[in-house]
Amino acid sequence: MTAGAAPPATSGAAPVSAGKDVYWHDSLEWGKFNLDQKPPNYTDGEYIENLGSDLLYVNGKARLAAWKKSGQPGKDDCTAAVDADGSNQTYVARGNYVCGRTAEGRTFLLTVLSTGNTLRTDTTIWNK
């Protein structure tokens, strides 16, 4: 690269927090959350909860799918993963990704930051 030249383009995807397509993005310390609420909050009858240190469980219509490929998934990747493998529970581990669909049809991505006594995720929920 010559002086003053622009750096080479990268093929990486834009950060998931970028863009008008994002409904909500922030870090969550897990208890029970309805990800259709903005910001996510507990609602009786429709929520995802942390059971133990490494299990997310759905009470209601939402669906979860562990990301089984390399790299960070985007919205379309997560939509496809949930269509193929969505269920009402999934195990989590630090550094893993969990895709999901809310009861109202919003696709989301959880990046697992910590497990153990406290499950914390970087959470991105996309618009429908």
**Over the stretch 67-99, which tens digit does the pLDDT of each residue have?**
999 999 999 999 999 999 999 999 999 999 999
Low-confidence ranges of the chain (pLDDT < 50): 1-15
pTM, 2 dp: 0.86
pLDDT of residue 53: 82
DSSP 8-state secondary structure symbol assigned to residue 38: S
pLDDT of residue 6: 35
Residue corresponding to tokens 């310390």: 29
How far is Cα 114 from Cα 103, in angstroms, rounded to an integer? 25
pLDDT of residue 22: 97
pLDDT of residue 16: 52
C-alpha torsion angle, residues 19, 23, 24, 25 (rounded to 10): -30
